[in-house]
Amino acid sequence: MTLGRLGKWGWETAHRPIFYRLTAPLYHRVASPLYRAALSSKVYLKERLTDSLLLLLRRRDQGRVSQVLRRWIWRMNQAHRPAQRAKIELGRAFDAILARIATGAKVSSSELLPYLCLPGRTERSAVNSMLADAYLQRETAADLKQARVFIERAWLLSGFSKDLLPLYTKICAALKDAPAMREAYKRLGMAAAADGNIPEAIDYFNLSHYSDLGFQNLDRYEFDFDILNCMEELADAYRFPQRNQVTVEDGKKIRLAYLVKGATEPNSILVEINLVLAEHHDKSRFDITFFIPVPEQVIAISKQAQAYIRKFESLGCRVVTAPRTENQTEALVAVGKAIYDAQPHLMITSAALANFSQYFITCLRPAPVILGLVQGPPPQFAPPILDWAIAWTKHPLMDSPVNCSLVELKLDYPVESNVAAYSRRELDLPDEATVLMSAGRFPKFQDLEFWKAINALLSKHAETYYVAVGPREDQIPFLDAVIPREVRQRVRFLGWREDFLSILPTADIIIDTYPSGGGQVLVQGMSRAIPIVSKLASVAEKFTVIRPVRRRLSDSAKRFTEWCSNSFAVFLRSMNLRRDDGLTEKNSCPYGMDDSPAL
């Protein structure tokens, strides 16, 4: 048996359901925590040792001892190690220069020029990458900018080598330079596509698409038509013969094929919407199949995916998943082939650009007509190759580069009496408090001005508590600078939860996240007749999840804080009136839509 076959057998064995169920508890409860603890301890020990060596270096800043200390500190914190041949050719003198830079010593341009002007492109790339690594270790703003100059030159000289990506990423992450990383990932994706490596191209294109989220914690997305065209070209070799017949024979059902996104994700609103559509489709007129582009071995270890499949099947719909394979291209083509063989009249995409694996299947054109659901920012949902689209709201419709119809979305939420609501004491909230609540993924909580507004409200109203459902406290890096300790005692971070509908009734007011607003959280609040505070969008602005910030940020932040405070005060008066009248059930909103400051 060859090594490759042995590895494949081991991978398949590890992903068999019975084997996974036996080993998963040991891995998640013992091996994984020990590994994470070891990594944390290693980082901690390295930091403490570095601090000790730097302290010793300050006392012995001259002579051979200082040279040895500098070399130790530099090597211990080195993030990038070029090929051995390049290091040998550059010599120990260059190592000494790097060690001096890494430990804060000044190095003149005349010392660097002979290395920066080497004739060989490979050697110059190695020099610049090692200089970038050395300046990165100093961690000051000026040195980070200098590191970026060197890494960009090294990136160019290397011909955009993947070997430099970890260092390039580390420097751009420190500078929060999302545009640079977007372009870097795109270039690597294009190179992978040129080599015919579809899985690698998809991975890099996804990283490029989500660069703002990854490096700035912002829900901001853009169309990149170079990437879209590249994906279409990759799909050309696998595209199926086109069927132009879309007429439905008399007495036959209309065949629908849904391409599902989010089957393995907890609390996926996209799958919940698919379930609502599955429930309300007229089964006497429609034959419905849901296609999940996830391999069988992944489905077998995902309780979430298994639960969704059971729900689809209980609603009278068929479900097809990708076959058991470790080859992503095979899995995607197999799902496309399954759709094609089902001969649907119409294929519906849930999020055609939320992941480029979804877009690859869409580019295969497995159905004569493809419809997209525009359920958020068009760059995530509305590629131009769609034949038509349906948008739930007006603003994304305006910016969708496809023919698009407006259909108001209706969702079925559980009857309030069927949801076991938590008491406030279970969430460490006083019964008599006024509770403000926001919910969503942690990137929606990354705006400094939003937290300043929350702090202003809590400081002004001592009986008020704020609950953030979705983020953890450690995911808000600037929290200590915005929320003082005495106010922090009235802030609760609940993290990502699957029981949000049980938490929701404890809120008196829902405050929409800003500037990245929510959707279903607000609808869920309205379904419980909980007052909502949200920012109005403008038709004069392009639709993005991030609402544009005005040029004068201080004025905008001031208006936002005043707006929150005024809306809060109105709702607080309303709640007090209802309490005085003995109205305990939240069954109505005191304002009509035209009068409500929240709407």
Q: pLDDT tens track of the chain, all 599 residues?
A: 565 666 656 656 655 555 555 555 555 555 555 555 555 565 556 666 666 666 656 556 555 556 666 666 677 677 777 765 555 567 778 888 888 888 888 889 999 999 999 998 988 999 999 999 999 988 788 999 999 999 999 999 999 999 999 999 999 999 999 999 999 999 999 999 999 999 999 999 999 999 998 888 788 899 999 999 999 999 999 999 887 666 777 778 999 999 999 999 877 889 989 999 999 999 999 999 999 999 999 999 898 999 999 999 999 999 999 999 989 999 999 999 999 999 999 999 999 999 999 999 999 999 999 999 999 899 999 999 999 999 998 888 999 999 999 998 877 666 666 778 888 998 989 999 999 999 988 888 888 888 999 999 999 998 999 999 989 988 888 888 899 989 999 999 998 888 888 899 999 999 988 777 777 788 888 888 888 887 766 655 665 554 433 333 334 444 444 544 554 455 454 444 444 444 333 333 333 323 333 32
pLDDT of residue 15: 54
pLDDT of residue 312: 96
Give per-residue burial for 3-25: e unless 16+ CB within 10 Å, then b. Answer: eeeeeeeeeeeebeeeeeeeeee
Cis peptide before 33 (omega within 30 of 0): no
Q: Which residues are within 8 A (CB) of 179 and not within 5 positions of it... i.e. 6 or more apart?
A: 211
pLDDT of residue 89: 66
- DSSP letters for 534-552: -PPP-TTS---SBPPPPSS
Q: 261 phi and psi, to 5 degrees?
A: -120, 130
Give per-residue burial for 30-52: e unless 16+ CB within 10 Å, then b. Answer: eeeeeeeeeeeeeeeeeeeebee
Distance CA 143, CA 120 (A): 26
Upper half-sphere CA count for residue 142 (Cβ side, 13 Å): 2
Q: Mapping DSSP to helix (H, G, I), strand (E, B) and coil, where does residue 168 land?
A: helix
> What DSSP state is assigned to residue 117?
T
pLDDT of residue 583: 37
pLDDT of residue 82: 76
Query: Residue 516's closest CA among 545, 488, 542?
Result: 545
| Tokens linked to 471 | 């983020």
Upper half-sphere CA count for residue 270 (Cβ side, 13 Å): 25
pLDDT of residue 6: 66
Start-end of H helices in 137-246? 141-157, 165-175, 178-194, 198-209, 211-216, 225-236
Q: Which residues are within 8 A (CB) of 248 and not within 5 positions of it... i.e. 6 or more apart?
A: 254, 345
Query: Residue 148's closest CA among 123, 120, 177?
Result: 177
